[in-house]
């Protein structure tokens, strides 16, 4: 039984076609505790207001993303991250070509 899993390619820039308004979204790995997703944006692409059913953690991997949550603008760049509780409205806008890693977390709180 493996006690670890290596996940590679998280900062790879496999972006969507130039005429697409949405980023390229790729599930990189999943288990019962977390889903790891790569979001690859072209400059100007947006994920408009939405909410996740589970808590999320979003890490900047490359470029610059304006992450809006609760009337706050958080700049995601390499070395930065934001955690958002379940069902909280948020949006993302790529100021430059950018890549982020989204982790959808299984909540440890009882429902």
Number of independent structural domains in the chain: 1
Please report whether residue 73 resides in a domain. Answer: yes
pLDDT class of 111 with cuts at 50, 70, 90: very low
What is the extent of the structural domain holding 29? 24-105
The reported pLDDT for the residue numbered 14 is 80
How many angstroms separate the Cα of 99 from the Cα of each of 50, 55, 71, 96? Answer: 19, 20, 23, 10
The answer to whether residue 110 scores a pLDDT higher than 70 is: no
Return the higher-pLDDT residue of 14 and 67: 67
Please report whether residue 1 resides in a domain. Answer: no
Residue 62 belongs to domain with CATH number = 2.60.120.10
- Residue-wise DSSP of 7-57: ---TT---PPPTT-SS-EEEEEEE-SSEEEEEEEE-TT-EEEEE--SS-EE
Count of CB atoms situated within 10 Å of the CB of 9: 11
Please report whether residue 81 resides in a domain. Answer: yes
Please report whether residue 38 resides in a domain. Answer: yes
Please report whether residue 87 resides in a domain. Answer: yes
The answer to whether residue 30 scores a pLDDT higher than 70 is: yes
Lowest pLDDT segment from 1-5, 29-33, 73-77: 1-5
Please report whether residue 12 resides in a domain. Answer: no
Return the higher-pLDDT residue of 14 and 7: 7
The pLDDT tens digits of the residues spanning 60-80 come to: 999 999 999 999 999 999 999
Please report whether residue 68 resides in a domain. Answer: yes
């Amino acid at each position: 039984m493996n006690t670890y899993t290596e996940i590679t390619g998280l900062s790879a820039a496999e972006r969507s076609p130039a005429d697409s308004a949405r980023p390229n979204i790729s599930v990189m790995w999943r288990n019962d505790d977390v889903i790891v997703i790569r979001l690859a944006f072209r400059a100007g692409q947006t994920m408009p207001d939405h909410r996740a059913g589970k808590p999320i953690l979003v890490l900047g991997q490359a470029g610059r993303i304006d992450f809006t949550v609760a009337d706050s603008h958080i700049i995601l760049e390499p070395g930065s991250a934001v955690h958002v509780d379940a069902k909280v409205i948020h949006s993302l806008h790529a100021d430059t070509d950018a890549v982020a890693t989204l982790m959808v977390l299984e909540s440890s709180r009882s429902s």
